[in-house]
Amino acid sequence: MEVSSETALDLLRAMFAAAIAAADPMRVLPAALPPRPAGRVIVVGAGKAAARMAEAVEGVWGPCEGLVITRHGYARPTRGIEVVEASHPTPGPEAVAATRRMLDLLAGAGEEDFVLGLISGGGSALLCAPAPGITLADKQALTAALLASGAPIDQINTVRKHLSAVKGGQLAAAAHPARMLTLLISDVPGDDPAFIASGPTVGDTSTPGEALGLLARHGITPPEAVRHVLGGGSGALAPGDPRLSRSETRIIAAPSQSLAAAAEVARAAGCSVEILGDALEGQARDLGAALAMRAREVMPGAMAHVILSGGECTVTLGEGGEAPGSGGPNVEFLLSALIALDGTAGVYALAGDTDGVDGAAEVAGAVIGPASLARAHARGLDPAEALRRHDGHGFFAALEAQVVTGPTLTNVNDFRSFLILPVG
């Protein structure tokens, strides 16, 4: 693809598609899968990619016994592994019931058996077993408060671990003494297995006291039952717990691989490429403005230039007492970038979530170009007002600039790209 003002947005969309394809379980999982062990094999898992991972496993091993939990709309056909769909990002009763059945299935695993775990982003909500003394309503209220607070994902998942009977290594403990291998698709900055889906098969070094401190830091007053449980201990396992001795984890897809795939597409189109990293975090509006200013400073010669980054932005709702609109971190990032670019010639951008869902909307993200601001004004759209109301999806829908992928069946977090064309 030769890049020009006419094909710029097509190139951005092609890079995003390549990033998603690079994390497709059907592409990355077979090479990571060992030969099927002799004897009983049990497959369990949770996350937005879990059903696709199960499909990939059975494509290699044939029909398997097991159960995985995925987001509504993300199911895939399997021959033996049961697929349960549940709500996300707030856990629901379907997830609780399915997790209970998963734990019952693992209770029968013996020392000669093999358990394969399939874990990806989204698993924190989809794999749900409230700790004793905590109700689902307690977890739902706390999850909503944490998501609205702007807390980074590692802090949110630290709290979740200490209020769960399955996170923080407890899924692996349920499988013990069977041998267990967990294949992971990372959606967290830094790719730490302890934070991917709140580490259900990985030991944890944090404490319930730290979880209480994080809630206080973000101004969250937990339900009394939550405060009581966090004050009395946690079921999360320490890394050296003997119940983890036969458990191994392996990351099979990560944001860095997806950025590399996008970079290949850009270079094939004749662009120079700059990758800022796969773990950029912070408030979406701040990062959007900062990266837009960086794009404005690029002075491309004869070659177009692409700036890529990944990670996870956050959005703090309720600022100024305003009711939020329909938004997500990627469209919030792009709204802020649109304002900061102020119609700069030759600069185009795309921001999207690789799972196809930005925030709670079935929209991955959006695209902008040099004419986007003028088009918005011509349609009576105010990007600053949309940003204040966290209404990125409403804004970009009216601008006809949304990126809609449908369920991607994977999740390696946010993808952001700027394309700067030579001007003159």
Question: Which residue type does 9 have?
Answer: L
Contacts of 6 (CB under 8 A, 6+ apart): none
DSSP symbols for 52-121: HHHHHHHHHH-S-EEEEEEETT-----SSSEEEEE-SSS--HHHHHHHHHHHHHHHT--TT-EEEEEEET
Q: Is 292 exposed, middle or buried (0-12, 13-18, 19+ CB in 10 A)?
A: buried
Query: What is the rounded average pLDDT for all residues in the chain?
Result: 94
Please name the residue that has the structure tokens 């497709």: 24
Q: What is the pLDDT of residue 234?
A: 85
Helix (H) or strand (E) holding 182: strand 179-185
CA 142 from centre of chain: 19
- What residues have CB less than 8 Å from 73, skipping those under 6 apart? 85, 362, 407
Q: Do residues 350 and 13 touch, judged by C-beta distance below 8 A?
A: yes
Sign of CA dihedral 89, 249, 245, 42: positive
CA–CA distances in Å: residue 127 to residues 107, 142, 167, 202: 16, 16, 8, 14
DSSP helix/strand/coil, 168: coil
In order along its 424 residues, the chain shows pLDDT tens digits of 578 999 999 999 999 999 999 999 999 999 999 999 999 999 999 999 999 999 999 999 999 999 999 999 999 999 999 999 999 988 999 999 999 999 999 999 999 999 999 999 999 999 999 999 999 999 999 988 898 888 888 899 999 999 999 999 999 999 999 999 999 999 999 999 999 999 999 999 999 999 999 999 999 999 899 999 998 888 999 999 999 999 999 999 999 999 999 999 999 999 999 999 999 999 999 999 999 999 999 977 778 999 999 999 999 886 443 557 788 999 999 999 999 999 999 999 999 999 999 988 899 999 999 999 999 999 999 999 999 999 999 999 999 999 999 999 999 999 999 999 998 6
Tell me: the pLDDT tens digits for 358-379? Answer: 988 899 999 999 999 999 999 9
Q: What pLDDT shows up at residue 1?
A: 59
Class of domain 8-20+256-420 (CATH, top level):
alpha beta
In this prediction the pTM is: 0.94
Helix (H) or strand (E) holding 217: helix 208-217
Q: What are the residues whose beta carbons fall under 8 Å from the beta carbon of 18, sequence distance 6 or more? A: 258, 261, 262, 264, 265
**Nearest in space to 396 (alpha carbons), one of 355, 344, 361, 421:** 361
Name the residue type at position 152. Answer: P
As a whole number of angstroms, the distance between CA 243 and CA 398 comes to 53
For residue 177, whether the previous peptide bond is cis, meaning omega lies within 30 degrees of 0, is yes
State CA 139 to chain mean position distance.
19
Rounded CA-CA distance 212/243 in Å is 26
Q: Rounded CA gap, 334 and 384, in Å?
A: 12
The candidate with the shortest Cα–Cα distance to 169, out of 236, 71, 98, 216, is 236
Q: Which tokens hold the place of 69?
A: 């939990």
Question: Domain spanning 26-253: which CATH class is it, in words?
Answer: alpha beta
- Phi and psi angles of residue 327, each rounded to the nearest 5 degrees, phi first: -150, -175
**How confident is the model at residue 320, as a pLDDT?**
42
Contact 211, 157 (CB under 8 A): no
And the tokens for 267? Answer: 């270079």
Helix H or strand E encompassing 318: none
Task: Compute the distance between CA of residue 398 and CA of residue 337 in angstroms, rounded to an integer.
Answer: 18
Residue 100: per-residue pLDDT: 97
Please state the domain extents for the chain: 8-20+256-420, 26-253
DSSP E strands in 216-353: the ranges are: 247-253, 272-275, 280-283, 305-314, 347-353
pLDDT at 321: 38
* Exposure b/e, 1-25, CB count within 10 A at least 16 = b: eebeeeebbebbbbbbbbbbebbbb
8 Å CB contact between 106 and 40? no
Task: Report pLDDT for 299.
Answer: 77
37: helix, strand or coil: coil
